[in-house]
Structure 1
Amino acid sequence: MTTSYSLNNDSQAAKVLNELYAEAEKQRSGAGNRLTAEAGAVLTPLERFTALKHRYMPIDRPFGNLMYSLLRASQAKTIVEFGTSFGISTIFLAAAARDNGFGKVITTEFIAEKAERARENLTRAGLVDWVEFRVGDALQTLSDPLPGPVDFLFLDGEKSLYLDMVRRVEPQMATGCLIASDNTDHQGAEPYLQYMRDPQQGYVSTPILTQGGPKAHSGHEISFRL
């Protein structure tokens, strides 16, 4: 089988990723794009994400490459993403599905405007046919039927909801499902990490750091469903 290798530097997917990362960096360096710590502390998660609906919050490129590699190696078919944003992470996931030659990414985004931008970016990357977009509260949208047992779950939304998301998807997880979670060094992820690292819950879970992006390093968790 001939594959398209969507993340090669000369591929359309790679070009769109480069554009989006450049836009994210330009935005990050500009003035007036951040909530102050004081303002952020008094907002609910919904209010905070709504206030930041125009802001890029991308995964770092090394972690995207890691997820692409894990998906290619595991041959995952049903891939679920919590937190589409503008679709940068979705490009990594959908590229792996296309290069494997099968599979579907079911991605969820609370803000309809961001989901539409993500759809446009996935279309430009030539990957939109590999993605199903669900808009709204992920705990509700993921109650709808999925195309098959979940082989890969990516968590990149509100950290305090990570544990709820895992519990929502657990009944549909395949044995051997991989769970990749971003920014697990952020406040709110502690209950999730305690759960995933408890052997009684049926996971083998490992923290990792990647270098890249605006921070010196980013914290993640990779977990395997026994």
Structure 2
Amino acid sequence: MGKLADSPLDPTARAVADRLHGASKKEMIRSAAPALTKMVKHRFREGTWDNTQSEDGKAFLADKMVALDKSKAELCYLLCRSLDARRVVEAGTSYGVSTIYLAAAVRDNVAGTGETAVVYGTEHEPGKVAQAEQNLTDAGLLGYTQILSGDLRETLPDVDGPIDFMLVDIWIPMALPALKAVEPKLRRGALVLCDNVISGAKEYADYLTYVRDPHGPFQSVTIPGQGGVEVSMKR
């Protein structure tokens, strides 16, 4: 592989993001064997490899970082800059890794304008909310974020619109409810990026059917590689 483009983040934010990406990779390696064991047991008990909807599976993931890949996070930054985004929603903040890229983008969009910008993050686990806010503070970006703690079906309908960009990187059964909660406030031309739609195509079936409906509210394209992402534009 040739040399990759430099990170779009400023040095302070980049240092925090790189540290978190590294920690996420190490966590994935440590968790791989236990996760596979739980999946195999769930396959024999329930007939499916997806154990994330069980109480045991949810408990296992409760403290895991599960960060968005660096290249995808950088793509989110660039899309937000291109859209001149002022309001962004992130469904699935976790420890705030991708939030750093989103917040940096909206900050850079309003730099020197005197305008305000915000990234609304969502997170169900209180411990992750606290850690995400600390990571954003370390990156110098907390002032451009608002982490909504609790059930996103209750918190997202209250965000201010219009929304320019949305990242969906969350427990799969919540992907479509998250999108529908925000959809009325997505402006025309707003983009929604959803992660792992190829590797999780079966689990994302209802979400993909919705955003790919030729008569629906979105026009959608699929980008392969690293599990695949779906980029959908609000008509």
TM-score by length of 1: 0.87
Gaps of 5+ in 2: 1-6, 43-48, 111-115
CA positional deviation for 1:178:
0.6
Change (3 A) 1:46 1:167: farther
Change (3 A) 1:198 1:45: farther
In 1, the alpha carbon distance for the partners of 2:132 and 2:78 equals 22
TM-score by length of 2: 0.84
Q: How does 1:1-226 map to 2 (within 5 A)?
A: 7-8=7-8, 11-30=11-30, 34=35, 36-37=38-39, 38-39=41-42, 41=50, 44=53, 48-101=57-110, 102-144=116-158, 146-185=159-198, 186=200, 187-210=202-225, 217-226=226-235
Amino acid at match of 1:136: G
Change (3 A) 1:46 1:134: farther
CA positional deviation for 1:113:
0.6
Change (3 A) 1:97 1:45: farther
Q: Percent identity at matched positions?
A: 32
| SS of corresponding position for 2:88 | strand
Cα shift readout 1:20-65 (whole Å, capped 9, x = no counterpart): 1111122222266536212474563665333222212011111111
Is this contact kept in 1: 2:80–2:106, CA < 8 A? yes
Is this contact kept in 2: 1:50–1:111, CA < 8 A? no
Structure of higher RCO (CA pairs closer than 8 Å, 6+ residues apart): 1
Gaps of 5+ in 1: 1-6, 211-216
Name the one with the larger strand percent.
1
| SS of corresponding position for 1:218 | coil
Amino acid at match of 1:104: V
Is this contact kept in 2: 1:91–1:122, CA < 8 A? yes
In 2, the alpha carbon distance for the partners of 1:46 and 1:135 equals 20
How well do the aligned residues superpose, as a CA RMSD in angstroms? 1.9
